[in-house]
Amino acid sequence: MTTRRSFLRTAAVGGAASLAAPAIVKADTAIKWRFQTYAGAALGEHVTKPAIDYINNAANGELEIELFYADQLVPTGELFRAMQRGTIDGVHSDDDSMASPTPLQQFGGYFPLATKHSLDVPVLFDQYGLADIWREEYAKVGVQWLSAAGQDPCNFNTKKEVTSLADLEGLKLYTFPTAGRFLSKFGVVPVTIPYEDAEVAVQTGELDGMAWSGITEDYTVGWADVTDYFLTNNISGAWIGSFFVNQGVWADLPDHLKAIVMAGIEAGHTYRNQWYWGGEARLRATGDKLKLRSIPQEEWVQVEEAAKEFWTEIAGESEINAKIVQIFRDYNDVIGQAGPPYTFG
């Protein structure tokens, strides 16, 4: 009995140790990707790096992704072409900033008044058909679209106090191409410069502020240190951005690594949603750098009406544009009928 008990005890300890510390076998040769995000280093730490870290940790040495931040390898406006050529393997960006050559360009980033909250974006893609459209359009140009998600709203942070639409007249704002096209209807002067130059451009007077993000981003990247006011009105409730990979590179990736990449991207979406959502509330309530200002709703309605006209203008440019705009209209009709919390007020 003593011998038997000793054997069982030894086997149990050995078995537990074996389960607790399995042998780890890493790949001899890793697949290596170069991946660039639209975001600078301070912002990229929250919006892109969590997904890349997840993938690198889970891939067990079989896939290693090197992450680069805004403009480190190529200018943001050349991201798409560089990925298409294979100069870089993958990109996290909105379609607008990376100058997508597809009809989808103007719908990425901040399409005016198309969304109310960050969760609108995955709903539009997964339930209303935008994912199929994005996948098909990018397949035509040699790029694999992987996934889209929402982020922060597009508010204004400025040196000048803004409390009416008239105060927008002449403001030089760093913003997205399509957002700038829309805001120019209210006298805004859109300015395009490298992302990391925006803070200094405010200090030198080249910019009066930004129409680029919500308040979480303003504090994170330093913009709250060089501007004075935050306008609570937004021209879009959520940024629309995506993860992309060169089509040939994606085709060569084994299926189990594709699954890890997708899991990492989804994990990044989850982190980003809570980081932005919580930050927007906390910094409006307790932030001590930006003074909150608002344009009254009875005046802001002019912007909402202008957005409807803008949608009609964009829809008239092509068949695919009309299809996407109709999806936005259908969704906004549904949430309008649903009421709060899907819509404001």
Instruction: Decide if 216 contacts 280 (C-beta within 8 A).
Output: yes
Q: Which domain holds residue 193?
A: 155-237+287-338
Residue 11 forms part of a structural domain: no
Q: Are residues 94 and 73 in the same domain?
A: yes
Q: Are residues 308 and 225 in the same domain?
A: yes
Q: Which of 284, 302, 318 is the last residue of a domain?
A: 284
Q: Are residues 85 and 183 in the same domain?
A: no
Q: Are residues 295 and 190 in the same domain?
A: yes
For residue 343, the model assigns a pLDDT of: 87
For residue 14, the model assigns a pLDDT of: 44
Q: Identify the residue with better confidence: 60 or 2.
A: 60
Q: Are residues 222 and 182 in the same domain?
A: yes
Q: Are residues 172 and 309 in the same domain?
A: yes
Residues 6+ apart with CB under 8 A from 250: 144, 146, 258
Residue 16 forms part of a structural domain: no
Q: Are residues 75 and 190 in the same domain?
A: no
Note the pTM of the prediction, 2 decimals. Answer: 0.90
When pLDDT is cut at 50, 70 and 90, the band that residue 7 belongs to is very low
Residue 38 forms part of a structural domain: yes
Q: Are residues 208 and 330 in the same domain?
A: yes
Instruction: Decide if 240 contacts 148 (C-beta within 8 A).
Output: yes
Q: Which strand (E) or helix (H) includes residue 180?
A: helix 177-183
Residue 4 forms part of a structural domain: no
Domain count across the chain: 2
Whole-number average pLDDT of the chain: 93
CATH code of the domain containing 217: 3.40.190.170
Q: Are residues 94 and 226 in the same domain?
A: no
pLDDT of 138-192, one tens digit each? 999 999 999 999 999 999 999 999 999 999 999 999 999 999 999 999 999 999 9
Structure tokens at 83: 């990925």
For residue 239, the model assigns a pLDDT of: 97
Residue 10 forms part of a structural domain: no
Range in 17-26, 114-123, 200-209, 296-305 the model is least confident about: 17-26
